[in-house]
Structure 1
């Protein structure tokens, strides 16, 4: 009986924190006009290369008139240095989609589209469903960073987060974790090997630096939110951070803000235990229930 109860509790926890389309990230505006979507001629994927104009600044394939003619003096780019960035797009729906980003295009039915060696700046992105244009917008790509996005045909394109790239460290153990983490689903429930989470030594250094540089609650909260933007925490680590504050109202505010950064939300009740007042513990639990 105890085993059955435990299994039911785990399954209910997984359902409670399950992902939902349009519930995470920043929605990026669809720039495809109604006329484009209704026009079969402009919607066709193959027609994208027939346009003579190209004001985007990105390379386009040669048109039919020049396919059989090689340039006498080709322009080589031996040391092109426009920056380096990555963009990861996931389409969790079943179907055959194509994603065009700058001068790169990926088509498959796996739902994962990973673009490397991208220049920094404003980069156009277009999404096709079975060859028909359904979404277009512009991404602001930064050098040495990775943008992670989710696309839903009924909801739109969502920018989940931006991660710094340093020393070719990808910061995850599983490809799915790249997209699952912003929803709070690390994919490693029951396993302490969470991606992007601070190890004990790094967390101790984090605490030492915070106590040295920030003396008051407002400074500590600002330090945690700034330095921990691209890190994940365990419930135990968050409870330590929350407990270090002086006033209970500030503890509640920090506990709420760090809930989305927690990798083991099923244990978040230990964060509420460090609050002094029962009313604040109820406030935190109500916040979690509605998140």
Structure 2
């Protein structure tokens, strides 16, 4: 009898162990954008990180408490809702708080399918097994609510107050700002608003395109001059404009005067770096070579492949301009 009981206990233990291993679970990954000493808690489990990325595996509670500490001070705490067999990826910053980034299925074809943070591993990132479509962000709903409230306001100042209250806790894209500026009648107030929104823009590399949102040439010039004089944040330096280059090229092509082309290019360089190949295309849009040469000299310090800059010699037809560019490069 005793051996039988021991056998039954052993089988029961094995079944419980198997059940535990087969339980559905979730994962929670968090990226903190700010610099500092942060610790993240998910219920009673905590994780530290040197690179701002915090990973929680094997999460069984579908409504855990997420807490963030800076040093010994708790700066954020909330309940989050999880879907089993899903990895929830969140972003946090002191300014914007907690934001949804992405949700991915942990398993594909009964195999673990994810990389070490925010995408599928190579074997599963294919057209045969497509990634899960992220759910809409709260920001889009909040922006729609903002647009509805603005339509109810009659005066520019009241509309601007609403927008400024919104950006205290939300970011905006350049396209969203363009929509908001259409609701403002006075060009000077448009300009003031566009300038004040700069810190809240999620795609600052495209912000120069708002030039077309203004009615008067003087306001357009004022806006571009503001972007050109704006300090370049460290986080923006060295990143590539490749994805937005066609948009820049089209904007430069629309300008009738070479000086205005240069201002647009300078505004783009304030937020992203270009390559020599990009400059080759842009300089060929100029009417006068001496204006193109001025732009080429200005842009040299910002390109990400200065070793190739000498090839821009072929952009110029006149030998005096070719020599001037090469002399300029040799003295750097």
More strand by share: 1
**Higher share of residues assigned helix:** 2
User: TM-score normalized by structure 2?
Assistant: 0.36
Highest CA radius of gyration, 1 or 2?
Answer: 2
The structure whose RCO (Cα within 8 Å, separation 6+) is larger is 1
**Given the two structures, how large is their TM-score scaled by the length of structure 1?**
0.40
